[in-house]
Amino acid sequence: MTDQRAGASQLHRLLDAVIDLTADLDLPVVLRGLTEAATELVGARYGALGVLAADGQGLADFIAVGIPAEQVVEIGHLPEGHGILGLLIREPRPIRLPDLSRHPDSHGFPPHHPPMTTFLGVPVFVRGAVYGNLYLTEKAGGSTFTDADEEIVVGLAAAAGVAIENARLHTTTRELDVFKERDRIARDLHDTVVQRLFAIGLTLQGVARLAERPEVVEQIERAVDDLDDTVREVRRSIFELHARQAGPAGLRRQLLSLGDELSGVLGIVPTFRFVGPVDAEVSDGMRAEVVAVVREALTNVARHAEASSVDVTVEATGAQLVVHVVDDGVGLGPRRAGGRGIDNMAARATAVGGTMDLGAAQDGGTSLTWRVPLR
């Protein structure tokens, strides 16, 4: 009777979790809600959702619950889909383990990672294809995950697939509305604002020819130059409004979301500046590399810099992409001059024929420049 009551209670909580998942249409909220619900349903101490990359060979996103933000910073680089996580990617079916460390595919944990023993992994399918995997560890009370635990998470994952697809469709619809509005604004800027600025510039140039005092001519010429700069900025904005991938999946949006995500551990909100058509010119594969590099750079700032500001500039001009991260912290020291994170960023640049430079910023702090070819 006790087991029946426990099973009924767990089923009731599963239904509540499914209702909560399908009630929201914001994809990040759905994914975090899925991770939290799975963790709570089976009494796991830690839970995570790994979202597969577009090529299905690794992880493009990793959402974890149960580990404090400060400890996440200490751990550093997020999982990429090796070891047991890689096994789930290669063989998308539920896995239950009494001891992670005893599995032949186990690679161990990086420094500062909490110990984990018991494990339950379940794939999440969307439209028949693997979208990601749920990872649950450390069953409450030190016991192993049960058949019932596996069944409940498999059921939750099935419902989550529908919720994820609904959220993605909602996002697509919202993107189309945004694109239409963006196109209207771009037309108005070109047909009205740019033309008026250009006409004002021509008028001022005509007035300058009639002026007799040199200082007046100089002031008018400076005003014309300022107008020219303004026209260039507006035209650049028009181009950005027409960028092919300016929606939520674009590089801008991903980096701004990353800044919000890390602002808690940084103690500040990073400032982002984008130059050139970064959403249109940066490929899917390169976008993932840039996000990983900026995450690593900001994590290093959070761990070592003691900075009161950090500025990130992403520039796509000509045939190259440049990422520039500058903080006003304590500057380079033994802990910042090297290390796995720095090596990883340098290796990412070298792998695609690029370079990375790390040095002192002009006004103190640290400057990192990551430069790679766009094609």
Q: Give pLDDT tens digits for 273-282.
A: 888 778 778 8
95-97 and 119-126: which strand pairing? antiparallel
- Across the range 70-98, mean pLDDT stands at 78
Co-location of 57 and 22 in the same domain: yes
pLDDT at 108: 66
Tokens of 187: 């037309």
Q: Is residue 215 part of a domain?
A: yes
Higher-confidence residue of 24 and 298: namely 298
Co-location of 222 and 114 in the same domain: no
Q: Which of 132, 157, 172 is the last residue of a domain?
A: 172
- Give the pLDDT band of residue 245 (cuts 50, 70, 90): very low
Domain encompassing residue 118: 2-172
Residue 98 has pLDDT above 50, yes or no: yes
Amino acid letter for position 245? Q
Torsion of CA 218, 222, 227, 231, to 10 degrees: 120
Rounded CA separation 303/280 (Å): 33
pLDDT at 371: 93
Co-location of 40 and 162 in the same domain: yes
Q: Which of 241, 267, 282 is the last residue of a domain?
A: 241
Co-location of 40 and 115 in the same domain: yes
Write out the H or E segment, with its range, that includes residue 74.
helix 69-75
Co-location of 46 and 165 in the same domain: yes
What's the CA angle centered on 216, arms 211 and 217, to 5 degrees? 65
CB 127 within 8 A of CB 163: no
Name, in order, each residue with C-beta under 8 angstroms of 357's C-beta and a sequence gap of 6 or more: 367, 368, 369, 371
DSSP assignment, residue 31? H
Residue 18 has pLDDT above 70, yes or no: no
Rounded CA separation 211/300 (Å): 57
Co-location of 215 and 302 in the same domain: no
192-241 pLDDT, tens digit each? 666 777 677 777 777 777 677 787 777 777 777 777 777 667 666 666 66
Co-location of 201 and 159 in the same domain: no
Counting the structural domains of the chain, the total is 3
Rounded CA separation 277/315 (Å): 8
Co-location of 185 and 274 in the same domain: no
- Give the pLDDT band of residue 246 (cuts 50, 70, 90): very low
pLDDT at 200: 75
- Across the range 10-22, mean pLDDT stands at 62
Helix axes 214-241, 147-188, angle to 10 degrees: 140
Rounded CA separation 183/265 (Å): 37
pLDDT at 30: 80
- Give the pLDDT band of residue 249 (cuts 50, 70, 90): low
Co-location of 265 and 364 in the same domain: yes
Name, in order, each residue with C-beta under 8 angstroms of 261's C-beta and a sequence gap of 6 or more: none
- Across the range 146-169, mean pLDDT stands at 83
Q: Is residue 187 part of a domain?
A: yes
DSSP assignment, residue 371? E
45-59, 154-168, 332-346: least confident range: 332-346
Co-location of 193 and 168 in the same domain: no
- Give the pLDDT band of residue 68 (cuts 50, 70, 90): confident
Tokens of 123: 């794939």
Q: Is residue 246 part of a domain?
A: no
pLDDT at 290: 92
Higher-confidence residue of 73 and 126: namely 126
Q: How many other CB atoms are found less than 10 A from the CB of residue 138?
A: 21
Co-location of 146 and 7 in the same domain: yes
Higher-confidence residue of 45 and 220: namely 45
Q: Specify the residue for token string 């998470």.
A: 153
pLDDT at 106: 72
* Summary count for the chain: helices (H), strands (E): 12, 10
pLDDT at 219: 79
- Give the pLDDT band of residue 17 (cuts 50, 70, 90): low
Co-location of 104 and 199 in the same domain: no
Q: Which of 201, 217, 241 is the last residue of a domain?
A: 241
- Whichever domain contains 74, its CATH number is 3.30.450.40
- Entry pTM: 0.47
Q: Which residues pair with 162 in a beta bridge?
A: none
Q: Is residue 288 part of a domain?
A: yes
If you average pLDDT over every residue of the chain, what do you get? 78
Rounded CA separation 171/249 (Å): 10
